[in-house]
Each structure stands twice: as C-alpha cells, then as structure tokens.
C-alpha cells in the first residue's frame, strides 16, 4: 500500500497539472482578438506617405475633382501597398473631425459622403514625409461598418477654406493568443515545455516539503503508538506540524497518559488486593493451625479472630462484586421518591453512638428538601461510607458536620470534618479501588473500596461527588444529586 506521503505528493502534482491545464485552456478559448497598439501601423503609413508625390497629387485633386489621372495612380498605389487611399476636403475648420469624401480607392465610400475622423494628437512619426508650406500631417482613425481604420493624412491649409487632404488608411490589426501560438509554433514550444518543466520541478520540491510537514508528525505518532503496543507506556508524540496533526498528537499523548494511569491503577489494584487477601488469610491460617495443634492459649479468642477475618473477607468479596457490577452497568437501581433530609438525619443519628465513643462532636444540619428519585438503600450506603470515614479519621475532640441543602437543579449532601486532611498528591486517586491514604496496617484498616463504591453509586444516580481537603485542616465531601435522576 502506498504511503500517505506518496499519495499527498501525487495529489498535489495532479492538482497542479489540472489547474495549469484548465487555466491554459480557459485563456486559449476565452481570450478574443484585441486591437493592437496603433504606433506600428502609423509608422508604416507615414513611410508610405513618403513614397507619394504629395504636392502633385494634391494639385491634381485641387484642379480636377474627377481625378482621372490621379485616381488611377492612387488606385495602383493602394493595390500594390495593400492600403487604402482616400481624398477628403475639410469644409469646416471649426469642426476638423467631420470631413467630406472626394475619392476612395476601395470604392466603398461614395463621393461627397461625410466621414467622421478621430484624430490622434499624441503620435509623432520618427521620420515624417517632407511637407511643403501650408501642409501638415495628421494621424487618427475612423469607423466603417464597425471596422476600425487607421490613417495618416497630409492636409493643405488654404487661406480661403476648402482644405484638401490625402489619407493613406489601413485596417487596424488585431492580436490574439490563439494566433500568437499558431504563428510562433515550434519556436514557442521548447520555451513553454522548458518553463513548464521548471515549474513542475519547483512545485514537486514544494509539494515534498509540504507533505513532509504532515507526514513526519504522523509518523512520529505512529512510532509512539507502536512503542506503546510493545509495552513502553512512557512514549510521547512530539507536538508539531499543522493544527490538525498537532491535535492528533495531543489527543494521542492524552490517551497515553490515561493508559499509563490505568496501568498504574491496575498494578496498585493487584498489589492491594493481594495484600488485603493475604493478611486475613494468614491470620485465619495461623490461628486455625494453633487450634488444631492445641497451642492456642485462648481458643475462643482465636476463633473470634478467625470469624472477624472471614467476615472481613466476605465483605471485601461482596464489595468487589458490587463494584464490578456497578462499573459493568449490571447492578440495577430501585429508584423511588425519597426525602434526602430524613435519610441523612436518620443515618447521622445512628452514628452518634460511634462519635461519642471517640469524643467527637457530630453535628447535623439538614434543611427541608424537595423529594428526589433515588435508590434509598444505596444513598444510605453513601452516607455510611462518608460519615463513617469522617468519624474514623477525625481525632478525639474533633468535629464532624453533616449538612443537606438545595442546590441548582438538585440537592447537595455535605460531610466535613476538621481531621488531619488528605495530602494533595492523594486527592486525584481518592476514588480508586483499594487506594488508601492511611498506609498503616491494623485491625481498624478498611478495605479501600468504600469511596470507590460511593463514587459509582453517585454516578449511577447521574450525580457528582468531589472532595476538598487541606492537610492538617480537614476534609469536605460534597455529593450533588439532580432533582430528576431517572
């Protein structure tokens, strides 16, 4: 399969060829004929005027308006030079651009027919014909049946009017791209091919550079993905290239970080579950062996420890099963309208005995709340976990506050204490399975699953739970539940 870089390069070159071809075809077929600048034609007509005996011809016109001899001469002159000779008179000097035709070698303009001239005052012939006194040379154009003619004329100014002029005229030439290409033919083909070739080479180099800016960052992402597939989860893709490619690299790096976190959580889970299973099993095995061997000094106490550890294992297995079913979406919630304030008050009052044993002040501040649809048993489980943890980790003489209040589009349950707090580094992982802030081992140590289960229960109610803590000043858990948790 061809690489992305190769396909991008081919697509750029194909686009270039199609664009150049389309532009060329459009120019060739849409560029019509345009009039050429008149200077070259003026030069040729001025040169032809030098070949005429202007004085004799004008005298001939002045004497004989039939111009038999002069007419034959002019007709021959016009035919051999591929021009048109026209004789005119300027009867009104106030309007020198309107003249009367007295002779036309082409025969299309009739005698005494008016003709409008458009004089060009800007042109000066490089080598004008030799003029006699009272003669002047003018240039310009006129229209006949939609065709533009350019002329050069010698006008003789007569004191009494009736100025005579002799014009040499030629159709104004036009030029077009089609005609230029046809005229140049082979002479133009090589330069065009050479120019197109150079342009294609330059475009190819630019296309290679452009494709490299896209291809290289993507290859970096591909290589990083391959490394992660081999187990190297520390790989990071460089953030470079176009915006879209940078977005891909950033998304990949975010995914890589999530994979690393998941791998670390999995390792921590395996380590914690192994230890938490090993500790009670070791106790059960040791005390049971002592009973069997008859070495237990207090068999009843040994049996009690075995029972407690077995109960702890049972709770752990049940909690693990519930947590797995919650995360898999297999644990159904029996949601009915409940009064969160009443449930909170009941659970907190049940915890008063435990709090008093530790000399902890458990304060209850519940406000009337609108009913919400929720699974009452699971909400009780959330309260037991949060209030129980607050009492457990608060030092004697401390304070635990349980509150409820109405919040935007829902209700809030707040459990706060003035205990030792949670280190900032532990806050992001506080809801992970088996994660415990207190690393010490002892009989009062929990399973490390309570907050993970609490988090899942809240999420299954479409709610949110967050924790705020300052080490040495206490911790606050806030649970938000929507009014409608269907």
Reading the block at residue 63, the tokens are 């004497």
Query: Distance between CA 299 and CA 291 in Å, rounded?
Result: 6
Reading the block at residue 309, the tokens are 């550890």
Q: Report whether pLDDT(136) > 80.
A: no
Q: Report whether pLDDT(359) > 70.
A: yes
Q: Report whether pLDDT(455) > 50.
A: yes
pLDDT of residue 399: 94
| 134 — pLDDT class (breaks 50, 70, 90) | low
Mean pLDDT of 152-175: 77
Across the chain, what does the average pLDDT equal?
79
Residue 84, strand partner residues: 169
Are 444 and 392 a contacting pair, CB within 8 Å? yes
pLDDT of residue 444: 47
Query: How do beta strands 399-407 and 361-365 pair?
Result: parallel
* Nearest residue to 364 (alpha-carbon basis) of 355, 374, 377, 376: 355
As a whole-number percent, the residues of the chain with pLDDT over 90 amount to 18
Are 398 and 418 a contacting pair, CB within 8 Å? yes
| 197 — pLDDT class (breaks 50, 70, 90) | confident
pLDDT of residue 67: 46
| 360 — pLDDT class (breaks 50, 70, 90) | very high
Query: Distance between CA 344 and CA 327 in Å, rounded?
Result: 26
DSSP 3-state assignment of 422? coil
- Higher pLDDT among residues 127 and 41, named by residue: 41
Give the other-Cβ count within 10 Å of 257's Cβ: 12
CA distances from residue 456 to 219, 327, 445, 453 in whole angstroms, order as listed: 39, 7, 22, 5
Angle between helices 186-229 and 177-184 (to 10 degrees): 100
Q: What's the sign of the alpha-carbon dihedral 386, 388, 392, 396?
A: positive
3-state DSSP: the chain helix, strand, coil percent, rounded to 5?
50, 20, 30
Mean pLDDT of 447-475: 88
**For residue 120, how many C-alpha atoms fall within 13 Å in the half-sphere facing its CB?**
18
How does pLDDT run across 387-405, given as a tens digit for each residue?
Answer: 999 999 899 999 999 999 9
| 195 — pLDDT class (breaks 50, 70, 90) | confident
Between the ranges 235-249, 253-267, 358-372, where is the mean pLDDT highest? 358-372
Mean pLDDT of 249-270: 78
Choice among 3-12, 34-43, 351-360 with the minimum mean pLDDT: 3-12
Query: Distance between CA 436 and CA 432 in Å, rounded?
Result: 9
∠ Cα 446 452 457 (to 5°): 125
- Higher pLDDT among residues 318 and 362, named by residue: 362
Mean pLDDT of 344-365: 91
| 184 — pLDDT class (breaks 50, 70, 90) | low
How does pLDDT run across 280-289, given as a tens digit for each residue?
Answer: 788 888 888 8
Sequence-separated (6 or more) residues with CB below 8 Å from residue 227:
235
- Higher pLDDT among residues 446 and 85, named by residue: 85
Give the other-Cβ count within 10 Å of 120's Cβ: 16
∠ Cα 180 181 185 (to 5°): 120
- Higher pLDDT among residues 268 and 104, named by residue: 104
- Phi, psi torsion values for 146, nearest 5 degrees: 80, -5
Reading the block at residue 51, the tokens are 């070949």
CA distances from residue 113 to 100, 165, 299, 390, 404 in whole angstroms, order as listed: 6, 15, 146, 118, 110
pLDDT of residue 29: 64
Q: Report whether pLDDT(345) > 80.
A: yes
Q: Report whether pLDDT(238) > 90.
A: no
Domains of the chain: 4-33+178-223 (no CATH), 39-175 (3.30.450), 243-327 (1.10.287.130), 336-482 (3.30.565.10)
**For residue 485, how many C-alpha atoms fall within 13 Å in the half-sphere facing its CB?**
27
Sequence-separated (6 or more) residues with CB below 8 Å from residue 99:
88, 89, 90, 91, 114, 115, 117, 165
Choice among 55-59, 68-72, 189-193, 470-474 with the minimum mean pLDDT: 55-59
pLDDT of residue 2: 56
Query: By CB neighbour count within 10 A (0-12 exposed, 13-18 middle, 19+ buried), where does 8 fall?
Result: middle
Residue 363, strand partner residues: 401
Are 439 and 454 a contacting pair, CB within 8 Å? no
| 182 — pLDDT class (breaks 50, 70, 90) | low
pLDDT of residue 191: 72
| 162 — pLDDT class (breaks 50, 70, 90) | low
Mean pLDDT of 307-315: 81
Query: Distance between CA 347 and CA 416 in Å, rounded?
Result: 15
pLDDT of residue 442: 44
pLDDT of residue 440: 47
């Amino acid at each position: 399969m061809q690489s992305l870089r190769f396909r991008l390069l081919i697509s750029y070159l194909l686009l270039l060829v199609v664009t150049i071809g389309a532009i060329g075809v459009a120019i060739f077929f849409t560029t019509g004929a345009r009039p050429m600048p008149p200077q070259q034609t003026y030069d040729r007509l001025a040169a032809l005027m030098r070949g005429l005996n202007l004085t004799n011809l004008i005298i001939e016109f002045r004497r004989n308006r039939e111009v038999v001899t002069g007419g034959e001469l002019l007709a021959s002159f016009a035919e051999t030079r591929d021009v048109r000779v026209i004789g005119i008179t300027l009867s009104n000097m106030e309007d020198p651009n309107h003249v009367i035709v007295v002779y036309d070698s082409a025969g299309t303009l009739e005698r005494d027919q008016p003709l409008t001239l458009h004089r060009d005052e800007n042109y000066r012939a490089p080598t004008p014909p030799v003029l006699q006194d009272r003669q002047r040379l003018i240039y310009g154009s006129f229209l006949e049946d939609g065709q533009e003619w350019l002329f050069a004329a010698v006008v003789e100014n007569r004191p009494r009017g009736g100025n005579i002029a002799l014009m040499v005229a030629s159709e104004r030439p036009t030029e077009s791209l089609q005609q230029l290409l046809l005229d140049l033919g082979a002479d133009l083909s090589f330069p065009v091919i050479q120019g197109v070739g150079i342009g294609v080479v330059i475009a190819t180099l630019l296309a290679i550079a452009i494709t490299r800016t896209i291809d290289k960052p993507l290859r970096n992402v591909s290589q990083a993905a391959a490394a992660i597939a081999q187990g190297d989860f520390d790989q990071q893709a460089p953030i470079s290239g176009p915006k879209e490619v940078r977005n891909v690299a950033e998304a990949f790096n975010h995914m890589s970080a999530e994979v690393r976190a998941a791998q670390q959580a999995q390792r921590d889970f395996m380590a914690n579950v192994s230890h938490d299973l090993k500790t009670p099993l070791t106790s059960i095995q040791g005390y049971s062996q002592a009973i069997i061997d008859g070495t237990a000094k207090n068999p009843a106490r040994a049996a009690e420890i075995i029972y407690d550890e077995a109960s702890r294992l049972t709770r752990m297995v049940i909690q693990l099963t519930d947590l797995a079913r919650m995360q898999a979406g297999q644990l159904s919630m029996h949601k009915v309208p409940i009064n969160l304030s009443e449930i909170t008050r009941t659970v907190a009052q049940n915890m008063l005995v435990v709090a008093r044993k530790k000399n902890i002040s458990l304060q209850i501040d519940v406000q009337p709340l609108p009913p919400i649809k929720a699974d009452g048993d699971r909400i009780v489980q959330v309260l037991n976990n949060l209030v129980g943890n607050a009492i457990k980790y608060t030092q004697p003489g401390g304070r635990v506050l349980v509150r409820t209040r109405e919040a935007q589009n829902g209700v809030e349950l707040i459990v706060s204490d003035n205990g030792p707090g949670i280190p900032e580094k532990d806050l992001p992982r506080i809801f992970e399975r088996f994660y415990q802030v207190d690393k010490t081992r002892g009989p009062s140590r929990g399973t490390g699953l309570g907050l993970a289960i609490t988090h899942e229960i809240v999420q299954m109610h479409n709610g949110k739970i967050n924790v705020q803590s300052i080490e040495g000043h206490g911790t606050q858990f806030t649970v938000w539940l929507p009014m409608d948790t269907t």
